Amino acid sequence: MRLVHTFSILLFCSFFMFSCKGKTTDKNSSDDKILIFSKTAGYRHASIEAGIAAIKELGNENGFLVDATEDSTQFTSAVLSEYKAVVFLNTTGNVLNSTQEKAFKSYIQAGGGFVGVHAASDTEYDWPWYNKLVGAYFNGHPEIQEASMDVLIDAHMSTKHLPKKWIKTEEWYNFKSINPDINVLIVVDETSYQGGTNGDTHPISWYHNFDGGKSFYTAMGHGAETFQEPKFRKHLLGGIQSVID
């Protein structure tokens, strides 16, 4: 009986070790992992949860892993080094303290990726480095309405599927403190709606290399329904892929 009991224990341990090993392999099957950060210290968009769900679906469909947090204490060098990119999803206000800002800056300088969605430009107004990273600061908006956008660069991963003219209903942000080094992908035609203040070259989406890392921003993403629109989902997916490639 003792021999049988010992054999059973050994068999169970072997099975347990094999199961754990298999689970670890599955978890690490992709080297590409991104972090969604959606902390708000100001206005909170009701679409945040829809955005998280959409990005997780895109990750499952396209081979990258997705974690989501609103805990700014995760902004340490050790934690951030696990991720290819950090997505600021409708963040607002001052969401990082000085220590966390330092860790995030070091992460970008080491080649990390950044994706800003909609209110990411309504974030960290007292941090000039972040202004340059995200590309511009929010400067108000008119009421939600339909407008026409023009795609200026159609070879980027976020725009190659889009028509030259894209008509969409959105909360159209106006901008200030625009970084002159951004590469504008899409502009909104201010003659097609009421309330624009940026003139003939009103940027809506852009990308640039900054301080060692890659940055992509889209001003779209106010409403939950946007995250179910096929054109926008491909636009956001391409933006994510452009900073993790």
Q: Are 126 and 94 in contact (CB under 8 A)?
A: yes
Residues for the chain: how many in total? 245
Q: How far is 80 from 75, CA to CA, in rounded Å?
A: 6
Containing H/E element for 113? strand 113-117
The pLDDT value recorded for residue 245 is 87
Q: How far is CA 138 from the centre of its chain?
A: 17
End-to-end alpha carbon distance in the chain: 58
pLDDT (tens place) for every residue of the chain, 245 residues total: 444 444 444 444 443 333 333 322 233 345 799 999 999 999 999 999 999 999 999 999 999 999 999 999 999 999 999 999 999 999 999 999 999 999 999 999 999 999 999 999 999 999 999 999 999 999 999 999 999 999 999 999 999 999 999 999 999 999 999 999 999 999 999 999 999 999 999 999 999 999 999 999 999 999 999 999 999 999 999 999 999 98
The pLDDT value recorded for residue 30 is 56
What is the residue extent of each domain of the chain?
A: 31-244
Residues 6+ apart with CB under 8 A from 241: 62, 157
The overall pTM is greater than 0.85: yes
Whole-angstrom CA distances from 185 to 17, 76, 137, 205 are 50, 32, 17, 5
Question: In the chain, helix, strand, coil percent, each to 5?
Answer: 40, 25, 35
Q: How far is 85 from 53, CA to CA, in rounded Å?
A: 17
- Residue 105's SS3 state is helix
Closest residue by Cα to residue 84 from 41, 109, 114: 114
The pLDDT value recorded for residue 31 is 76
Containing H/E element for 216? strand 213-218
Residues 6+ apart with CB under 8 A from 20: none
What kind of fold does domain 31-244 have according to CATH?
Rossmann fold (3.40.50)
Tokens at residue 76, please?
């340490």
Tokens at residue 189, please?
């035609």
The pLDDT value recorded for residue 89 is 99
Side-by-side strand order, sheet with 33-37: 65-69, 33-37, 85-89, 113-117, 213-218, 202-210, 183-188, 145-151, 165-170
